[in-house]
């Protein structure tokens, strides 16, 4: 199973989600069954490490994002991944606009699986420290909900 997490710049939200989802998949014993990647719909930060504030906030909770590098969404992603999950509705609209007609992947919001009413992870880039803590809270819950969904899918197909 392959999961692609998508935000705007690929330096704050989606790398945070990638690091946390990988970590939690390892704890759940599913790391060999699920491949995780992230990207941005925008291309301003290609090749860059995650935002320092995102890395520091994640590190305080025990998640290491330092090895990740930003990349931009490409058409091939719609064929390579089973799930393409956006952090907010603007980026979901971009996914829907780019999605080739013969794409079989599930396209939706990352927080669709978290059981929250609010289904968006707000962009923390232009805000303060608290925005990054909020991203972590939402992403931790989203990752757990998504792992439950993936476990169900894997059990149904094995
Ligand atoms: P992200 O945050 O989409 O969570 O990575 C942003 C990063 C950079 C910019 C906007 C959002 N930017 O405008 O450069």
| Tens digit of each residue's pLDDT (9 = 90 or more) over 42-93 | 999 999 999 999 999 999 999 999 999 999 999 999 999 999 999 999 999 9
- Extract the tokens encoding 113: 């699986």
Give the angle subtended at the CA of 93 by the CAs of 89 and 95, to the nearest 5°: 115
Tell me, yes or no, if 99 is annotated catalytic. no
Evaluate if pTM is beyond 0.95: yes
Instruction: Give 72's strand partners.
Output: 40
Cα-to-centroid distance, 46 and ligand 1 (Å): 11
Show Cβ contacts of residue 29 under 8 Å, excluding neighbours closer than 6 positions: none
Cα separation of 116 and 156, whole Å? Answer: 25
Helix or strand (DSSP H, E) at 5:
strand 2-7
Q: Which domain holds residue 86?
A: 2-151
Q: How many domains does the chain have?
A: 1
| Tens digit of each residue's pLDDT (9 = 90 or more) over 10-54 | 999 999 999 999 999 999 999 999 999 999 999 999 999 999 999
- Extract the tokens encoding 49: 């490490």
CB 139 within 8 A of CB 121: yes
User: Ligand 1 pocket: which of 6, 10, 12 to mutate (most atoms <8 Å of CB)?
Assistant: 12
Is residue 157 included in any domain, yes or no? no
* Predicted local confidence at residue 34, as pLDDT: 98
Is residue 56 included in any domain, yes or no? yes
Residue located nearest, by CA, to atom 14 of ligand 1 = 9
C-alpha distances out from residue 9 to 37, 69, 116, Å: 14, 11, 24
Is residue 6 included in any domain, yes or no? yes
Cα separation of 38 and 114, whole Å? Answer: 18
Q: Which of 60, 76, 123, 153 is catalytic?
A: 123
Residue with tokens 């197909």: 157
Task: Give the domain CATH number at 65.
Answer: 3.40.50.2300
């Amino acid at each position: 199973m392959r999961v692609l997490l998508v935000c705007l710049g690929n330096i704050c939200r989606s790398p945070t989600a990638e690091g946390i989802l990988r970590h939690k998949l390892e704890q759940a014993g599913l790391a060999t069954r699920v491949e995780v990647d992230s990207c941005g719909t925008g291309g301003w930060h290609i090749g860059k490490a995650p935002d320092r504030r995102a890395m520091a906030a994640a590190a305080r909770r025990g998640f290491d994002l330092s090895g990740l590098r930003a990349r931009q969404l490409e058409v091939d992603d719609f064929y390579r991944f089973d799930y393409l999950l956006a952090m907010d509705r603007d980026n979901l609209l971009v996914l829907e606009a780019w999605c080739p007609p013969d794409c079989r992947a599930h396209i939706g919001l990352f927080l669709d699986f978290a059981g929250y009413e609010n289904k968006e992870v707000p962009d923390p880039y232009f805000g303060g420290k608290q925005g990054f803590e909020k991203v972590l809270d939402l992403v931790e819950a989203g990752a757990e909900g998504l792992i439950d969904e993936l476990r169900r899918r894997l059990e149904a197909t094995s």
